[in-house]
Structure 1
């Protein structure tokens, strides 16, 4: 596949800003045009089969992430779904969060008055979590799988062991900076809940995301509504409680259809290729940045890392990078760069040339 033909933005820019916004493929844009053309020509008739269409999207998401379709829900973005999840929990829950995690993770927990503690975000992240579990005894761990500010990635094997050792601990993850970077098996993971927006590494544009939960989570959510009558209208009669909570109102077939099309594109490219490309370029980039003293100690000393980096950059360097048509984003005290499967070593070399 010619990535510059599939992603036209790559013809004009070196795109290292996926951590801020993924890009749309030309084939997906053609599908979106066709979708809206049909809506223009058919009006309400176009929506007659929307229930089957959206169920097919759920099936595609659950297949892609190895989840259970019965426990897969569509959402407009991470924040809406995470807030819905929190509103279904008893207020007695105690949350362990990561210091400096994405505000969409930490603020909704804090603002609802849950008891909270924080694990430091540094090279010892996993040990910090273990230490806090001993001293704070949380009932929920809420964490971004990949930290937006510097790309630190939680060890997935650690989460699986943590769940095995603490079966009553709910582990809830934001996958927005993770999903789309490797083949991930939700059912075999240590996660109880995975929520993600689709506009970053999933390359699915805005207004779509998904929720995957495990069967064991049901007894924790909206227990005060269990036993109450559900809607009996024909168009709602087959909906279950959590479906009504996570998927209220209408769902946009354009946005969620785009999510399905992006997953099909990922499967065409090949998840093995995607994971290998991201890991290969990411490791080379980490070494190159570390050799130049551009990484923080906590990132440089991590054995494993994502393909997101926050590098030291002054105003003049940022101007040079912009002038070279390299798209990045200032985040925190540095410049954030990210490498997806459409990036290669030449993209990294171009950036390093500007830095040097």
Structure 2
């Protein structure tokens, strides 16, 4: 499969963790969509509404969630806030330190009780100790940390759910989904929420919510006591879709997600995982040898496609001059590798870091 990304001719693009890129084929699909809208108006919109069902089913097919437990939202932040608004305020949250603000801030601002756990080589032990002492009802975390690239251990998530079945596990999948094979129903998670504009390469304005049956039962309990509207155009809605999908869903943005899932599915998420892990592990070893990635990050079973380097401004300026795109995050400079990155991209980076370019 040959996807064309013109930006790769201009830059060494190590910035998918900031924004995924758009292929020319997707841009063409989007243009055709809007041309059809211009020509057809409401006729086109009515005929294209089946696309919303298609993208929901596509998410289910690729990521193993139940169709009736899968909702479409415009982005992670919106989906997560909708989830939080449906929870009883007596819930107690366990969070990771330096968590993505869109995860931590709404929990704090809504007045939930919470406790932070430090991220280090003993993270799993830290979480278990905090569960025993703090007695949380929900653990909320990014599947991949946006600054460091630290990835949660898949086996540990499943073990947590088995050991503490009443503990609800909520993951932000934005920096995760699209990098590896994944089956929600087998993951141990009770919710995975994310945006499609990064690793799913789907542009902006689309995202997803996948829920377990247990989480479905735990949210919007009072809403479920109210009769649903009888209007014919809402006949497909249930109580939770009235909350997560309260208005119209844009067929351009969600159609883009659908098309990108088709493209990535043809490529295969197993292929994407193998390709990105091989290159990311090469990069991690090379950066560790230069003192830019800590030793303990190398020994983890599950590793992400993101890493952060502590660089001074002079070195950052050299990366910019060499047209290597990356992002300042926290105290470091963040890089990331998707399937369109190559060893040549990595070598470009290393040459600049070594002062050879």
TM-score norm. by structure 2 comes to 0.97
Query: Within the alignment, does 1:183 sit opposite 2:181 as a pair?
Result: yes
> 1:269-308 residue pairs with structure 2 within 5 A?
269-296=267-294, 299=297, 302-308=300-306
Deviations 1:77-132 (A, max 9, x none): 00001000000000110100111110000001011111101111112211111110
Number of equivalenced pairs? 354
Q: Out of 226, 229, 232, which is 2:227 matched to?
A: 229
Q: Out of 305, 314, 332, which is 1:316 matched to?
A: 314
Say whether the 8 Å CA contact 2:310–2:333 is kept in structure 1.
yes
- In structure 2, the residue matched to 1:348 is 346
- In structure 1, the residue matched to 2:42 is 44
CA RMSD of aligned residues (A): 1.2
Instruction: State the 1:237 CA deviation.
Output: 2.2
Return the alpha-carbon distance in structure 2 between the equivalents of residues 194 and 302 of structure 1.
Answer: 22
Return the alpha-carbon distance in structure 2 between the equivalents of residues 18 and 67 of structure 1.
Answer: 25
The answer for unaligned runs of 5 or more in structure 2 is none
Give 3-state SS (helix, strand or coil) of 1:49's partner.
Answer: helix
Say whether the 8 Å CA contact 2:170–2:191 is kept in structure 1.
yes
> 1:1-356 residue pairs with structure 2 within 5 A?
1-3=1-3, 6-296=4-294, 299=297, 302-356=300-354
Instruction: State the 1:70 CA deviation.
Output: 0.9
Return the alpha-carbon distance in structure 2 between the equivalents of residues 238 and 272 of structure 1.
Answer: 34
Say whether the 8 Å CA contact 2:288–2:295 is kept in structure 1.
no
Higher mean C-alpha deviation, range 306-315 or range 253-262: 306-315
Return the alpha-carbon distance in structure 2 between the equivalents of residues 109 and 86 of structure 1.
Answer: 8
Deviations 1:245-283 (A, max 9, x none): 000111100000000011011012122210001110111
TM-score norm. by structure 1 comes to 0.97
Deviations 1:298-356 (A, max 9, x none): 53564542111110211111111111111001111111000011112111111001100
Instruction: State the 1:50 CA deviation.
Output: 3.8
Instruction: State the 1:238 CA deviation.
Output: 2.4
Instruction: State the 1:2 CA deviation.
Output: 4.2
Say whether the 8 Å CA contact 1:123–1:297 is kept in structure 2.
no
Say whether the 8 Å CA contact 1:197–1:210 is kept in structure 2.
yes
Return the alpha-carbon distance in structure 1 between the equivalents of residues 300 and 183 of structure 2.
Answer: 24
Say whether the 8 Å CA contact 2:154–2:302 is kept in structure 1.
no
Return the alpha-carbon distance in structure 2 between the equivalents of residues 347 and 127 of structure 1.
Answer: 36
Say whether the 8 Å CA contact 1:197–1:209 is kept in structure 2.
yes
Deviations 1:3-43 (A, max 9, x none): 5xx11111111100000000001111110010000001111
Say whether the 8 Å CA contact 1:125–1:154 is kept in structure 2.
no
